[in-house]
């Protein structure tokens, strides 16, 4: 290993979980589970390939959390019953044999759902039709449906779904969980002013719009214990509104990040098209810098970090503690090993990667993805980067 990447390859911890380096696989949508939401042997091989390739941490695709409104896509994996728990065990066991750690991302699609085996309706904070159109690549077509307004009971069911899913992930052998609070999914829908028109304790001022995320974090923390890693993924960009910015600028960022830290998260995973870009306007600090400014939690950066020199500089400058890679990882499942050994990286070629009928068995092959720009490679759930 050359000294120029010494920080990337330095050991670190998230909570008490030791990591061999500071390189993670970003969560990326696959829709490659069975119709019943079961992880497959092909999925186990897929995730294990990255562990063999030197990634210290694997973060899974978004995994649905209940049998009501959480599923976003047909053939998305779930973590809500014993069969799904058992299916994921083959994945966690295989990855851990390669001396890597694996976290599960817990996802509730809310109003952005375009394929749910449990219901034909969608639900969100308010009766606001999501912007944009569904992705045909994942079986959707036309505009998103107008969601039903979540009742207080529905909201409590969302929280309890996340809690049960986190406990199930722990039982399945995952080393930690990441709450998907980004990219336009249900927690982000509550946070966003134009999708949340509620007049109750979950709507209005940003503190109220953030309330559901805080309650989810606190409930999961209580359920899994103080020693189990719990983090959250946050973004301004949405899969259906990639240019969205928080209206309150840095003031909103301060409230969001400090309250999430107070709620008990062990890391905040920022997903933006370019991790180092100014968060608001053409100058100023990035979102990762604002997390560093206002919290003492672990900061994971995602977005335009496939060039190792950029990732190394970000870590050396103290702007983040860890990086995740998506697009470059799709082109180089052994990205970490290649960087460590000074080998040339393959360029990302969208035409080669985008093989709609490719099975994961062929990957070394190519997973199903949507190219939405750097930091937005992956699937419609915005899991990418």
Interstrand relation of 101-107 and 123-124 (parallel, antiparallel or unpaired):
unpaired
Active site includes 185?
yes
How far apart are the C-alpha atoms of 18 and 100, rounded to whole Å?
Answer: 9
DSSP string spanning 309-362? HHHHHHHHTTS-SEEEESHHHHH-TTHHHHHHHTPPPPPP-HHHH--TT--GGG
Residues 6+ apart with CB under 8 A from 282: none
Pairing type for strands 322-325 and 298-302 reads parallel
**Quick one: DSSP state of residue 144?**
P
The residue behind tokens 């993670």 is 24
Give backbone dihedrals phi and psi of 63, rounded to 5 degrees, phi first: -120, 130
Rounded to an integer, what distance in angstroms lies between the CA atom of residue 342 and that of residue 4?
A: 10
Catalytic residue (choose from 185, 202, 228, 294):
185
Give, in order, the Cα–Cα distances in Å from 112 to each of 37, 128, 133, 156, 380. Answer: 18, 11, 10, 19, 9
Q: How far apart are CA 152 and CA 194, in angstroms?
A: 20
CA gyration radius, the chain:
19
Query: Could you say which DSSP state residue 5 is in?
Result: G
Return the DSSP state at 180. Answer: E
Look up residue 250 and give its two tokens. 């840095």
Residue 18, token pair as written in the block: 């030791």
Measured distance CA(209)–CA(311) in Å, rounded: 33
Rounded to an integer, what distance in angstroms lies between the CA atom of residue 375 and that of residue 269?
13
Q: How far apart are CA 27 and CA 60, in angstroms?
A: 5
Q: Are 146 and 127 in contact (CB under 8 A)?
A: yes
Residues contacting residue 39 through CB under 8 Å, at least 6 positions apart: 33, 77, 84, 87, 88, 90, 91
Q: Strand pairing partners for 370? A: 378
Count of H-run helices and E-run strands, the chain = 12, 14
Instruction: Kindly list the catalytic residues.
Output: 185
């Amino acid at each position: 290993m050359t000294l120029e990447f010494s920080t990337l390859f330095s050991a670190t911890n998230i909570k008490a979980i030791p990591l061999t380096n500071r390189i993670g696989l970003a969560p990326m949508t696959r829709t490659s589970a069975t119709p019943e939401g079961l992880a497959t042997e092909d999925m186990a091989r897929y995730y294990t390939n990255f562990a063999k390739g030197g990634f210290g941490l694997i973060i899974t695709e978004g995994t649905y959390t209940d049998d009501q409104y959480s599923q976003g896509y047909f053939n998305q994996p779930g973590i809500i019953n014993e069969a799904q728990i058992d299916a994921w065990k083959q994945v966690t066991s295989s990855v851990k044999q390669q001396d890597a750690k694996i976290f599960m991302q817990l996802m509730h699609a809310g109003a952005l759902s375009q394929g749910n085996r449990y219901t034909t309706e969608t639900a969100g904070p308010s009766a606001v039709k999501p912007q944009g159109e569904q992705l045909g690549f994942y079986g959707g077509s036309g505009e998103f449906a107008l969601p039903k307004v979540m009742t207080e009971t529905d909201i409590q069911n969302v929280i309890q779904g996340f809690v049960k899913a986190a406990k199930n992930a722990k039982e399945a052998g995952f080393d930690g969980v990441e709450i998907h609070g980004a990219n336009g999914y249900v927690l982000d829908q509550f946070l966003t002013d134009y999708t949340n028109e509620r007049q109750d304790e979950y709507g209005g001022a940003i503190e109220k719009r953030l309330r559901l995320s805080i309650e989810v974090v606190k409930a999961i923390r209580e359920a899994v214990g103080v020693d189990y890693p719990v983090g959250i993924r946050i973004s301004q960009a949405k899969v259906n509104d990639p240019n969205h910015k928080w209206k309150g600028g840095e003031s909103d960022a301060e409230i969001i990040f400090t309250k999430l830290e107070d709620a008990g998260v062990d890391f905040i995973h920022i997903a933006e098209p370019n991790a180092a870009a100014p968060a608001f306007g053409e100058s100023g600090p990035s979102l990762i810098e604002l997390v560093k400014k206002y919290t003492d939690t672990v900061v994971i950066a995602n977005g335009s970090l496939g060039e190792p020199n950029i990732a190394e500089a970000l870590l050396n400058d103290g702007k983040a503690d860890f990086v995740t890679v998506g697009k470059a990882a799709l082109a180089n499942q052994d990205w970490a090993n290649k960087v460590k050994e000074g080998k040339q990286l393959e360029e990302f070629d969208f035409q080669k990667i985008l093989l709609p009928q490719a099975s994961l068995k062929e990957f070394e092959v190519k997973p199903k993805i949507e190219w939405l720009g750097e930091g937005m490679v992956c699937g419609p759930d915005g899991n990418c980067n």
